[in-house]
Amino acid sequence: MVDYILVGGGAFARELHDWFTPSLTEAGSRFLGYLDDGDEPMRAYGHALPQLGHIADYRPDPAHRLVMAIGSPAGKQKIVDQLGAEHFSTLIHPTAWVSRSARIGRGAIIAVFADISANAIVGDFTTVNGYSSLGHDAELGAFATLSGYVDLTGGTKVGMSSFLGSGSRVLPHVSLGERCTVGAGAVVVRSTGDDVTLYVPPARRL
């Protein structure tokens, strides 16, 4: 049996707990608890998973595996610098489809109904949220986060520490630089450099 510890106690941690608990239980594993620098944030939502301490105070235990439960690219990188990459596990949900030719990095989260296609590369500590997809030969850089329903089409490249909002899409063979932010619903049609923010106007009342 493997005991997993979620790193982070926010909304994404609650989602991960709910998504992965059935399959972990079936495999004889469990979430032991979570680490967060707040004071029992999950309790506010009536969640029974115990807080095991603050992130800064955690001392790695070889009997435990850590799971990255933070969506912020900068936050993920900070946590890895604190705790060390070697203590983290990759979680792939049983409903996700991952090609045999795809490469999945350390500490990645592949959530419910995600689709990772032929020869796609998912970097270390990336998050591929529910119903998101990487087309053939797409590359997702380390620490990047795809929100739900994001579509990286064939041959796209997303640089490390980038964040793509829900329902956004990158068209074939388009590249995003590092630390880019793409707003919800945006369609990226041409390549960009580093540190670029792309968005579409919000819905307006008529």
**DSSP string for residues in the chain:** --EEEEE--SHHHHHHHHHHHHHHHHTT-EEEEEE-SSS-GGGGGT--PPEEE-GGG----TTEEEEE----HHHHHHHHHHH-GGGB--EE-TT-EE-TT-EE-TT-EE-TT-EE-TT-EE-TT-EE-TT-EE-TT-EE-TT-EE-TT-EE-TT-EE-TT-EE-TT-EE-TT-EE-TT-EE-TT-EE-S---SS-EE--PPP---
Point out the catalytic residue in the list 17, 47, 93, 136: 136
Task: Give the pTM.
Answer: 0.94
Domain ranges of the chain: 3-89, 91-191
At 1 the pLDDT is 79
Report the topology of domain 3-89: Rossmann fold (3.40.50)
Respond yes or no: is residue 136 known to be catalytic: yes
| CATH superfamily, region 91-191 | Hexapeptide repeat proteins (2.160.10.10)
The arithmetic mean of pLDDT across residues 170-195, rounded, is 98
pLDDT digits (tens, 9 = 90+) for 62-75: 889 999 999 999 99
At 106 the pLDDT is 97
Asked if domains 3-89 and 91-191 share a fold, the reply is no
Quote the CA–CA distance of 55 and 122 in Å, as a whole number: 25
